[in-house]
Amino acid sequence: MKPSDSPDRVRERVRFHRLRERIRPQEPPSSDWDPWELANEAIILMGAVRKGLKNPALVAKQDQAMELLRQLAWGPEEQP
């Protein structure tokens, strides 16, 4: 910790880092992604989950929806 870093700044950096790691997708969307389509896919998948999670296929759909939400929050990957 640098002497100029206040406890609030350190706490904010830690919070941001944890948030960033929590929302980091396994696979970032391509550079030509459409946020509306990505969100629509997530909404459709979450609608299927709403019916119940007893079926393993529904659990898999929930996982897919969570990944899409992470991609939406993360944004497109940068091209070199």
User: Which is nearest to 75 in space by CA: 25, 41, 40, 37?
Assistant: 25
Q: What is the pLDDT of residue 69?
A: 84
Structure tokens at 58: 């529904």
If one compares 7 and 78, the residue with the highest pLDDT of the two is 7
Question: The pTM is what?
Answer: 0.57
The residue type of 79 is: Q
Q: What is the pLDDT of residue 1?
A: 57
User: How is the chain split into domains, by residue range?
Assistant: 7-74
What is the torsional sign of CA 41, 47, 51, 54?
positive
Q: What is the pLDDT of residue 16?
A: 94
Q: What is the pLDDT of residue 78?
A: 66
pLDDT digits (tens, 9 = 90+) for 33-80: 888 888 888 888 888 887 778 888 888 888 888 888 888 878 887 655
